[in-house]
A = this chain, B = another copy of it.
């Protein structure tokens, strides 16, 4: 299967990854969440090649994850900012960062910390269920594919 066909697959993870599952896209989203807005900002932060950056930004805009906001004319220059759809990736990023902090070994401990300002602690995120409010554990999940009737 080609990567581009992934959005056709009936699985929410496949569809998500068809938009943000390639090598640099989630790092661009991370930078956006931290306030980076401009082409040169992403390029310096990531060290990515300019061709790829152009391509990824265009894809994210086309997918509705980022939007372009002109900040000058002559020549037209854009800020790239997250849409609601883009900001909705925050939860994914928090869980991913948590995994990277605890599970990836062999490197000195990261100095990056995220604080939950409303309670004052360093954030330790977990996934909870909107219906019962309990932490979601693997043993309590059952995933099914409903067959069309």
Contact = CB atoms under 8 A, between A and B. Distances in A.
Contact of A104 (B1, B19, B90, B130): B19
Given A15-B107, A113-B144, A126-B127, A119 B134 contact: yes
Q: Which 6 A-B pairs have the closest CB atoms?
A: A16-B100, A1-B47, A12-B100, A119-B132, A124-B130, A121-B131
B1 A13 contact: no
Interface string A89-119: 1111111111111111111101111111111
A140 interface: yes
Contact of A129 (B123, B129, B147): B123
Main secondary structure of the interface of A (DSSP, over half): mixed
A62 to B, nearest CB: 11
A18 B113 CA distance: 19
A14 interface: yes
B125 A129 contact: yes
Residue among A16, A85, A87 with max Cβ neighbours from chain B (10 Å): A16
A74 interface: no
Nearest to A30: B13
